[in-house]
Structure 1
Amino acid sequence: MKKTLASDNYAGTSPEIIEAIAKVSNGHQGAYGADDATKEAIEMFKRLLKEDIDVFFTMNGTGANVTALSSVCPSYGAVITSSVAHINVDECGAPEKFGGFKILTIEKEDGKISPEDISPFLVNLGEQHWSQPKVVSITQATEYGTVYTCEEIKAIADFAHQNNLLLHVDGARISNAAVSIGATFKEMLVDTGVDFISFGGTKNGLMFGEAVIFLNTSLSENYKYLRKQGMQLLSKMRFISAQFVALFDGDLWKKNAEHANKMAQLLAEGLQKAEGAKVTQKVQANGVFAILDPKVIPILQEQSPFYVWNEQTHEVRLMCSFDTTEEEINQFITTLEKYQVVEA
């Protein structure tokens, strides 16, 4: 089957993950998390982050985000986030429908928000006619492939806490972000003051499954009920948990993320040298955004499907995965350069 640059969701599953799933399929184990793999995965998260956390596994990223936010934000509340955040544009209104709260958005060219961006939303705190901000949600890495530094996250967390807000991290590509800035998960999430996180695995080699982690355990009291109500409680949970065990064992998470990021850098370098192409965002994780000649886009998509991010400007999104190869990147660039030569 043809590989693509459309999304890291298109990629297959790491062989180590497949092996882990097969291994826990033998015999019977307790359901709904009462199994050895779930206990081991939780202990691994505690070693990576800190001992005092609560970990809950979910079936997918939307489920993780929606149930996590709904557990701390009342229906009269609001979540402040980037305009391109997944919870705003790619979850079919699930956060608002399931949680009942309002999403307040901030327009930023690189998808990264700051305390200064959040401040205007706080002028009506206590005003009964307005939805009350309760949570700030950032995406790490962002939907534009940019990455928050630890200092930037801490600044947002400090500002949020000073204003009685919580900080949530949508970590769909959290491993790519950690590799990008050379930080441990503890440095990036615990030491900065993040309250809770949706920890992604699917985009980094897992078959399925994410985790909701409360670094502030005072927030997690009722989450297990919302997870069940939100249809995210998998009965055979060991098939999610075992994947995370394999992901962390031997630093597979790091190997996969490093490779995907490296392929994105290689792709960006090729695009920057190619006539008629313009990289539009800093390439810090595994995504590359670029403006291409509209005539070449269909030709390239035939070779390696990808999405057009902005139809008006012909900006495209090219995503690299743990199984993207240098050969595929080189073929993509060669096709682009060949087209440009023909048109010159």
Structure 2
Amino acid sequence: MKRARGFASDNNAGIHPQIMEALMVANRGHAIGYGDDDFTRKAEHHFKEMLGEDIDVYFVFNGTGANVLGINNLGSSFHSVICADTAHIQVDECGAPEKFTGMKLISILTHQGKLTLEGVQKHLHGFGFEHHSQPGVISITQPTELGTLYSVDEIKNLAQLAHSHQMYLHLDGARISNAAVALNLPVKAFTKDAGVDVVSFGGTKNGMMYGEAVVFMNPALATNFRYFRKQGMQLASKMRFIGTQFDAFFTNDLWLQNARHANQMAQLLYQKVMDIPGVKVTQPVQANGVFAIVPAHVIPLLQQEYFFYVWDESRNEVRWMCSFDTTAEDVEDFSAILRKLV
């Protein structure tokens, strides 16, 4: 019998009680639609406190919408976007970035899911040649899809490389809260101050019902974004229900508390499985995910008890994600069952 909580995805977790309470409060009475309400203004204020007054922030429904619309504002259909082979925009958005923006995605084989200067530089050619798509955007994910982290210097170097070629740097921050906790740094230090131009700022994977933010570090880059958001079907009429979630999310650092707990549970899980015979952890455990190779016969048996995904079927690599509501008891029980099955 499957347990109530699994290790498949932090998307599978519920809504944090404080955020649910905020939704109930916002549900009383009426509020002006499409973002002209006090709840949304409070959320915008939180972002400006975090990143500075000279930013623009727009709320959308989901991560794919945030990534696609953010990247769309950074170029034209003849541009290309350089990303990791594991990037969400490359693997898990059903071609939406290319369909909506018209830009070509150029994916690079990476180690631990991280772009490097050397890897990107190989694709910086053909500028001004009308037969080639023009390199326009570098997109990174923090933490990466493999749960690893870019250092501040690594991000700065990629930003400098992009800007030296009149390109932009986009950061997919679906789990940016987990990165902030793991790095023990303010978000501003590894985004705006590091030269990132646009951030897709996630909330759904960290205790919110739904809602992400597209943050432009330079408001000039947000020109006409409001119209593209509408065309992209990401303009919420009842925007207050996204705004109030972000307000609760940031109040008293709930976002950091949630992410810290998820990261701690991943570390605990790593400690519990690392010495199990036949189990090999494949990536550094730096955020809230554990990637491991396990014996093939164990996977379906373990999935009968706890839901999780196979990451790479060719080598029996699985992904175990921890969430804000994962408990130490969940981890203990899961690892005990795994040890018994092996």
In 2, the alpha carbon distance for the partners of 1:154 and 1:133 equals: 18
Match of 2:88 in 1: 86
Residue pair 1:158, 1:193 contacting (<8 A) in 2 also: yes
Match of 2:240 in 1: 238
After superposing the two structures, state which structure 1 stretch, 10-19 or 120-129, moved more: 120-129
Match of 1:280 in 2: 282
Shift of 1:291: 0.2
Match of 1:334 in 2: 336
Shift of 1:254: 0.4
1:87-126 paired onto structure 2 within 5 Å: 87-126=89-128
1:53-64 paired onto structure 2 within 5 Å: 53-64=55-66
Q: Output the aligned Cα RMSD.
A: 0.8
Match of 2:15 in 1: 13
- The sequence identity of aligned pairs, in percent, is 53
In 1, the alpha carbon distance for the partners of 2:190 and 2:260 equals: 17
Which of 3, 23, 26 is the matching residue for 2:25?
A: 23
State the AA in 2 paired with 1:254. Answer: L
Matched, 1:319 2:316: no
Shift of 1:109: 2.6
Match of 1:169 in 2: 171
Secondary structure of 1:103 counterpart: strand
Shift of 1:163: 1.1
In 2, the alpha carbon distance for the partners of 1:251 and 1:173 equals: 15
Secondary structure of 2:199 counterpart: strand
Secondary structure of 2:111 counterpart: coil
Secondary structure of 2:73 counterpart: helix
**Equivalent residue pairs, number:** 340
Gaps of 5+ in 2: none
TM-score by length of 2: 0.98
In 2, the alpha carbon distance for the partners of 1:291 and 1:160 equals: 36
Residue pair 1:50, 1:190 contacting (<8 A) in 2 also: no
TM-score by length of 1: 0.98
Secondary structure of 1:66 counterpart: helix
Task: For residues 103-143 of structure 1, give each alpha carbon's deviation from its aligned partner in whole angstroms, at most 9, with x where no partner exists.
Answer: 00110130000221111111211111111011100001100
Secondary structure of 2:244 counterpart: helix
State the AA in 2 paired with 1:110. Answer: Q
State the AA in 2 paired with 1:106. Answer: I
Shift of 1:150: 1.1
In 2, the alpha carbon distance for the partners of 1:282 and 1:113 equals: 16
Residue pair 1:157, 1:194 contacting (<8 A) in 2 also: yes
Which runs of at least 4 in structure 1 moved beyond 4 Å after TM superposition? none
Match of 2:217 in 1: 215
State the AA in 1 paired with 2:73. Answer: S
In 2, the alpha carbon distance for the partners of 1:223 and 1:174 equals: 22
Match of 1:148 in 2: 150
Shift of 1:190: 1.4
Task: For residues 278-334 of structure 1, give each alpha carbon's deviation from its aligned partner in whole angstroms, at most 9, with x where no partner exists.
Answer: 000000000110000111111111111101111110000000000001111111111
Match of 2:268 in 1: 266
In 1, the alpha carbon distance for the partners of 2:305 and 2:327 equals: 14
Which of 286, 307, 310 is the matching residue for 2:309?
A: 307
State the AA in 2 paired with 1:310. Answer: D
In 2, the alpha carbon distance for the partners of 1:337 and 1:55 equals: 47
State the AA in 2 paired with 1:313. Answer: R
Residue pair 1:179, 1:258 contacting (<8 A) in 2 also: yes
Match of 2:208 in 1: 206
Task: For residues 235-290 of structure 1, give each alpha carbon's deviation from its aligned partner in whole angstroms, at most 9, with x where no partner exists.
Answer: 00000010000010000000000000000011111111111100000000001100
State the AA in 1 paired with 2:22. Answer: A
In 2, the alpha carbon distance for the partners of 1:172 and 1:248 equals: 16
State the AA in 1 paired with 2:220. Answer: S
